[in-house]
């Protein structure tokens, strides 16, 4: 493949030809005179960022000359970086039939640099911004901006946290190896690139699985609603299952204050508590939810007993206060997960409960048996639930021996 000229690199990097020559002369690029590699585009962008941060090109050149610094890793991570097009943001907006300000806001919400109307658009940015506007066209501008904000914030937070965890571990590993700086940079970057590729694949898989779950849940609820509108009532079974959701209040803020090590320890303590108490009452944890869990019980009595135990024992194990919501009713099992309005309602009740509190529906109260007393809390307005829901606070009449 023929190399790139100074003009090629400048165009692709969004820089001046003079700046590219300056970097080449300082040894920041793969060649001092050319031809250049496609990866030199990323070297130009990276060096410009360093200079904006106050790291002079002269200082970088010194690091290169003394063998203490290398950009070889960038060549491994970005062998063929996206180039700039000859299309401006104003022209992109015109092509998509929207105002420039809408494209500008979309870029900002996604976490991209704020564009000006006459800025040139990168190939990858232009492709995805166009796809974003076309793919969600049936939604309004406000909804599309909200989607962009959600995706941009989530992606930025995920990547920053990922790099905080994996980056130092990789660097520490390679610092122990007796390798020349260029080889160390190359191997570190190669390992990082493989790890980043894995991250992308895992995210694609998890998004697909979460979409599948949400679609199944929505379909089950829609069918149940349709049956209700038609006046169809399934026969009431003698025994109905219960779904419970547990949430640790303040877990996220506590983990942020005390660090990842403490958060991992708390997660382990939570897992132990959940497994012990659910198993003791003929239930099981269906899935973990970061700062809590979802449970399935064969009958409401076990769900209430386990919920009371977990809420009581959480502080004694050094965990933040727990809260639990429980509902009983038909559920649909698929691929090891449960779906339906019973699941939705239990989750909403857990969100509504106060720290250290267990709240249940009337269906749970009716089926829980004689071992519990129930205090009426009243009808609660729950997010995503059309009608107020009567809730009850259980207390044990007797304790397990």
Cis omega (within 30 of 0) for bond into 35 = yes
d(CA 381, CA 400): 34
Count how many domains the chain has. Answer: 3
Is residue 89 classed as helix, strand or coil in its secondary structure? helix
Average pLDDT over every residue of 15-19: 91
Same domain, 390 and 283: yes
Of 161, 176, 191, the domain-final residue: 176
Burial label for 161, CB within 10 Å (0-12, 13-18, 19+), is exposed
Same domain, 379 and 300: yes
Q: What is the pLDDT of residue 1?
A: 47
Of 140, 161, 176, the domain-final residue: 176
Cα distances from 268 to residues 246, 282, 318, 328, in angstroms, run: 15, 21, 11, 28
Same domain, 154 and 273: no
Q: Which residues contact 70 (CB under 8 A, 6 or more apart)?
A: 64, 181, 182, 185, 186
Of all residues in the chain, the percent with pLDDT exceeding 70 is: 89
Average pLDDT over every residue of 115-141: 89
- Examine residue 224 and state whether it is found in any structural domain, yes or no: no
Same domain, 21 and 156: no
Same domain, 294 and 165: no
- Examine residue 193 and state whether it is found in any structural domain, yes or no: no
Where would I find the H helices in 314-385? 341-352, 362-367
Tell me how many degrees the CA angle 117-122-128 measures, rounded to the nearest 5: 95
d(CA 299, CA 311): 19
Name the DSSP class of 292. E
Domain that holds residue 152: 84-176
Phi/psi at 246 (5° precision): -110, 140
Q: What is the pLDDT of residue 258?
A: 65
Q: Is the pLDDT of residue 186 over 80?
A: no
Same domain, 18 and 134: no
Name the DSSP class of 4. B
Same domain, 384 and 337: yes
Same domain, 248 and 366: yes
Same domain, 88 and 170: yes
**CATH code (residue 389):** 3.30.70.1230
- In terms of pTM, does the model score above 0.75? no
Average pLDDT over every residue of 163-179: 73
- Examine residue 1 and state whether it is found in any structural domain, yes or no: no
- Examine residue 252 and state whether it is found in any structural domain, yes or no: yes
Q: What tokens were used for 322?
A: 């727990």
Average pLDDT over every residue of 9-35: 89
Same domain, 16 and 49: yes
d(CA 211, CA 231): 30
From 164-168, 277-281, 350-354, the region with the lowest mean pLDDT: 164-168
């Amino acid at each position: 493949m023929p190399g790139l000229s100074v003009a090629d690199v400048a165009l692709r990097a969004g820089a001046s030809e003079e700046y590219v020559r300056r970097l080449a002369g300082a040894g920041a690029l793969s060649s001092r005179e050319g031809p250049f590699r496609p990866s030199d585009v990323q070297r130009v962008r990276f060096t410009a960022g360093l200079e904006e941060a106050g790291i002079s090109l002269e200082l970088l050149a010194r690091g290169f000359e003394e063998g203490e610094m290398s950009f070889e890793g960038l060549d491994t991570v970005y062998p063929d970086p996206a180039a700039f097009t000859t299309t401006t943001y104003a022209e992109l907006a015109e092509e998509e039939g929207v105002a420039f300000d809408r494209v500008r806001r979309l870029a900002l919400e996604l976490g991209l640099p704020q564009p000006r109307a006459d800025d040139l658009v990168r190939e990858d940015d232009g492709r995805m911004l166009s796809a974003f506007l076309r793919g969600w066209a049936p939604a309004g501008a406000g909804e599309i901006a909200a989607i962009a904000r959600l995706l941009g914030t989530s992606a930025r937070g995920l990547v920053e946290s990922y790099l905080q965890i994996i980056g130092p571990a990789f660097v520490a590993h390679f610092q122990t190896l007796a390798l020349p700086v260029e080889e160390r940079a190359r191997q570190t970057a190669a390992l990082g690139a493989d790890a980043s590729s894995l991250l992308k694949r895992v995210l694609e898989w998890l998004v697909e699985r979460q979409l599948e779950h949400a679609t199944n849940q929505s379909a089950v609820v829609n069918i149940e609603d349709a049956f209700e509108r038609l006046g169809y009532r399934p026969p009431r079974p003698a025994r109905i299952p219960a779904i419970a959701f547990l949430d640790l209040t303040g877990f996220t803020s506590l983990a942020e204050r005390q660090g990842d090590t403490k958060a991992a320890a708390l997660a382990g303590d939570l897992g132990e508590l959940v497994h012990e108490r659910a198993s003791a009452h003929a239930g099981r944890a269906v899935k973990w939810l970061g700062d809590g869990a979802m449970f399935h019980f064969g009958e409401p009595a076990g769900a209430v007993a386990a919920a009371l135990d977990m809420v009581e024992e959480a502080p004694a194990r050094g965990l933040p206060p727990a809260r639990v919501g429980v509902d009983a009713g038909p559920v649909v099992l698929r691929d090891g997960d449960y779906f339906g309005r019973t699941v939705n309602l239990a989750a909403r009740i857990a969100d509504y409960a106060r720290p250290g509190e267990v709240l249940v529906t009337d269906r749970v109260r009716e089926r829980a048996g004689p071992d519990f007393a129930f205090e009426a809390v009243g009808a609660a307005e729950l997010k995503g639930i059309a009608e107020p829901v009567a809730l009850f606070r259980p207390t044990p009449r007797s304790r397990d021996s």
